[in-house]
Amino acid sequence: MNLKIINKDNEKSLLLKNNAFNVFGEMVVRRTGEKWDYEIKKYDTKKVRKQVFPDEKYSLEDINKNGFAIGAFNENETIGLAIFNNNWNGYLYLEDLKVNKKDRRNGVAHSLLKFTEVIAKEKEYKGIWTVGQNNNLAACKFYLKYGFEIGGLDTRVYKHTSQKGKQDIHFYYDFT
């Protein structure tokens, strides 16, 4: 696997399609005093379903105005993509992280984040932050396993959408 910053030569990597993921439970987050905690609520097998996010129409020009993108490649095939935005608060914002379905659970997402750490430190960021939907349990568990910590919960973000009732969990990863 090769990791590269996306530029004009490999710009087509931004067209990496979103693949379906299993919705098999949710992360239930709560705050007690100064501490965030969570529990995993697994769904009954009858409630398990697949979900896929709509494909984005990323533009390299737009991405580079406020950040950068990194691709993971197996020979000439794009197998993973991470989109980052510069941010004011000392954290580099991870806007999107995706890996081809057949390449998942092979360290691609982990490698994309490790590669990003070097770049982010050079840019004097102190860490990375992102959000995950509470019912995208595999993603939430991945962030925690990587070393991210829960830093917030948005219970209203989907109130006026077709995804009413879902929540965004804010995850923070500090380099130090």
- Rounded mean pLDDT, 91-101: 97
Structural domain contains residue 134 = no
Structural domain contains residue 48 = no
pLDDT at 138 over 90: yes
**Helix (H/G/I), strand (E/B), else coil: 57:** coil
- This prediction has a pTM of 0.94
Structural domain contains residue 131 = no
pLDDT at 39 over 90: yes
DSSP H stretches of helix in the chain:
60-66, 108-122, 137-146
CA-derived radius of gyration, the chain: 16
pLDDT at 76 over 90: no
- Tell me what pLDDT residue 162 has: 86
The CATH code of the domain that includes 103 is 3.40.630.30
Structural domain contains residue 120 = yes
Structural domain contains residue 42 = no
- Tell me what pLDDT residue 163 has: 86
- Tell me what pLDDT residue 133 has: 96
Structure confidence at residue 122 as a pLDDT band (50, 70, 90): very high
Question: Range of 89's domain?
Answer: 2-18+53-125
Structure confidence at residue 111 as a pLDDT band (50, 70, 90): very high
- Tell me what pLDDT residue 154 has: 95
- Tell me what pLDDT residue 148 has: 98
Structural domain contains residue 98 = yes
Q: pLDDT higher for 129 or 176?
A: 129
Overall domain count for the chain: 1
Closest CA to 173 of 108, 101, 94: 94
Closest CA to 24 of 1, 50, 6, 43: 43
Structural domain contains residue 88 = yes
Structural domain contains residue 66 = yes
- Tell me what pLDDT residue 85 has: 97
- Rounded mean pLDDT, 20-31: 96
